[in-house]
Amino acid sequence: MTREQAFERLCARGLADADSAVVVDHLAAADAAGKPGHGLSRVPWLERLLGDTLDPSGRPERIERSAGFERWHGRGALGYLTMAALCDAVASDPPERARFLIAESCFPTGVLGEWARRLADAGFVAVVTATSPRRLPHPDGGPPLTGTNPIAIAVPSSDGRPFVADVSMGAVTHGDVLAGRARPEELVPFGGPQAHKAFALAAGVELLVGALAGPEPGAVVLVAEPGHDPVAGFRELADGLRLPGDRAA
């Protein structure tokens, strides 16, 4: 599927042109980063969401704000649009030192590392995490208990190349299943014999975000001004090895 086709199909579902462009840009960036499960192949799934549980005309809303804190609500919008609104709000009105943001009813959030990168490009250290519908079972089996619940960490650098780590707790992603790259039964905590570690992180995120954003899938974002510049030195230590978040040459 091309970008143009994706844009037209999302617009046909009722998304405004500007909103469709935000979503397509995010999906195309995922494809370019080698994450096709989060790329344009997701458009048919998004079309179903827009015809079922999400509102094409929904607009994310900031419902609470105080010094160093914001609470947002998706208001039925695609989570991509809520995450974009959070990033835009931070960039247009930077915190004096740090800001903690909670997004209720925020799904799907896409590639969290891309949102963290946007915040790092704006000059902030960022931690981004989010929940999704329950997809991962306990390592000992049973029904799904948590989402894949990724965690992304981005740190800006004076050399203009931020460090961006983005790890989902699943051995595969739901996007891989949607794209036919993995079977549903492969959607388990990663780690094989050590899968209890990934499950612990997934459960921790599930309960952390649930306590702050409520029972529906949501997101939590922390941004802060860096006091130091460790990335360039870490690159020297890595001596040419590719680091998480590095773009292809």
pLDDT in tens, 175-186: 888 888 889 999
Residue whose C-alpha is closest to residue 170's, from 216, 211, 201:
201
49 inside domain: no
pTM of the entire predicted model? 0.94
Q: Exposed/middle/buried for 123, CB within 10 Å: 0-12, 13-18, 19+?
A: middle
Measure the CA–CA gap between 136 and 27, rounded to whole angstroms: 24
Question: What value does the mean pLDDT of the chain take?
Answer: 95
Measure the CA–CA gap between 161 and 193, rounded to whole angstroms: 35
* Domain around 196: 58-238
> pLDDT over 90 for what percent of the chain?
89
Number of domains in the chain: 1
User: What CATH number is attached to the domain comprising 169?
Assistant: 3.30.1370.60
78 inside domain: yes
Full DSSP string of 136-174? EEETTEEEEEE----EEEEE--TTS--EEEEE-SBSS-H
Contact 124, 223 (CB under 8 A): yes
Q: Which residues contact 13 (CB under 8 A, 6 or more apart)?
A: 46, 47, 50, 51, 56
Residue 249 pLDDT exceeds 80:
no
Q: Residues, the chain, total?
A: 249
Confidence of residue 152 (pLDDT cuts 50, 70, 90): very high
Distances (CA, A) of 193 to 112, 174, 177, 184, 239: 27, 21, 22, 20, 32
Indicate the residue type of 57: S
pLDDT in tens, 192-246: 999 999 999 999 999 999 999 999 999 999 999 999 999 999 999 999 999 999 9
Tokens 């903690």 belong to which residue?
100
Q: And the tokens for 229?
A: 């510049």
Residue whose C-alpha is closest to residue 182's, from 190, 165, 204:
190
Contact 137, 144 (CB under 8 A): yes
Average pLDDT over residues 105-113: 96
How large is the angle between the packed helices 3-12 and 43-50, nearest 10 degrees?
A: 10
68 inside domain: yes
Q: And the tokens for 86?
A: 């959070």
Measure the CA–CA gap between 238 and 249, rounded to whole angstroms: 17
Distances (CA, A) of 197 to 26, 99, 212, 220: 30, 29, 23, 21
* pLDDT value, residue 195: 97
1 inside domain: no
246 inside domain: no
23 inside domain: no
4 inside domain: no
20 inside domain: no
